[in-house]
Structure 1
């Protein structure tokens, strides 16, 4: 398995991104761990190296630490932080199942999804609610209170607003809420389609998301321009395209796609003109995030 884990990926990223690494989780070493791939060399590194299910990594803006979800304690997903070099592992959550989290751009907060306060059987269905906590795990507080699922948060660049997916009106749509828990509002006009997995652009003007609005059971990635109130479709694949995340320069969106039979990572330029396959490993690669350059 070790040779599989260390296998390189082709260097296909545009020159402007070759100084970056991308994190993801993958089962290329049998069980899911958090990895990085260097976009300039194709080198792949296993960061978590555990026998448990480690996934959904999100980075402190300094690039010096990341958080991830893991079932390593009693089999329930909890959120941990760890330094980029693997030291100073700390468990932040203890109750319920916790995942789908995001570190605020100012490094102060982590927004996350949790089932901790939900009654059974709703809790067993993983119908999470949205929460925030300080980056050290203190001041954990609930942001939403609805029996339908809320979660998968993304932060505005000023760290004052969270966008998230919610099923509170019958189908999944994207809502915004301020860090103080007030001013809940919908991002776009309501449609019968599902809108999930928002990702806020670095300049704050756009939100990428996943939707089936152009065909049932076909999930593609779209970009909503908040100023112009217009929508651009990024992917046109039959099948599933999920978990968009922006490059630091705001010119590319990275995502996972099933278009070749297993989950691989792809880049699409934000103008919708070009798509590039980043990973070719027969295992699954999911939840891509650009690793911030250490400051």
Structure 2
């Protein structure tokens, strides 16, 4: 919840349990006033991978993080899985849980902030 595509603004990830039953209860998963977005759960729904501006410095570079979906950041921390002055985003877990595929502009990191905010579609498909 929050403004889209504004790295300087807070964007949080919430869980909405039992959404298909019409439930409206929300549970905040991310904390810290960062821009967190594009979450993807592993096939059994226990882990969440997402991109975040935390640790991204003044340029708001985005890297990938993993967290437990049951506890979120209330009782734990998100684990950083990529690190650099670039934009890693749009991650997706493979069905066998062995891979996370994501887009990155790490081959052109010097102007990552400007390219991301211009919504430049160029990127490299990577696996981790």
Please tell me the TM-score bracket, short chain as reference: 0.7 to 0.9
Give the superposition deviation at 1:160. 2.5
Counterpart of 1:164 in structure 2 is: 102
Once residues 157 and 151 of structure 1 are traced to their aligned partners in structure 2, the CA distance between those partners, rounded to angstroms, is 19
More strand by share: 1
Aligned-residue CA RMSD in angstroms?
1.7
Once residues 99 and 25 of structure 2 are traced to their aligned partners in structure 1, the CA distance between those partners, rounded to angstroms, is 29
Structure with more relative contact order (C-alpha pairs < 8 Å, separation 6 or more): 2
**Number of aligned residue pairs:** 102
Counterpart of 1:91 in structure 2 is: 28
Secondary structure, in 3 states, of the residue corresponding to 2:56?
A: coil
More helix by share: 2
Secondary structure, in 3 states, of the residue corresponding to 1:78?
A: coil
Could you tell me whether the CA contact under 8 Å between 1:106 and 1:159 is conserved in 2? no
Once residues 151 and 106 of structure 1 are traced to their aligned partners in structure 2, the CA distance between those partners, rounded to angstroms, is 21
Unmatched runs of 5 consecutive residues or more in structure 1: 1-69, 178-295
User: Can you list the C-alpha shifts for 1:9-52, whole angstroms capped at 9, x where unaligned?
Assistant: xxxxxxxxxxxxxxxxxxxxxxxxxxxxxxxxxxxxxxxxxxxx
Give the superposition deviation at 1:139. 4.2
Aligned ranges 1:135-284 → 2 under 5 Å: 135-136=69-70, 137=72, 138-170=76-108, 172-177=123-128
Q: TM-score, normalised by structure 2?
A: 0.73
Larger Rg: 1
Counterpart of 1:111 in structure 2 is: 49
Unmatched runs of 5 consecutive residues or more in structure 2: 4-8, 109-121
Counterpart of 1:223 in structure 2 is: none
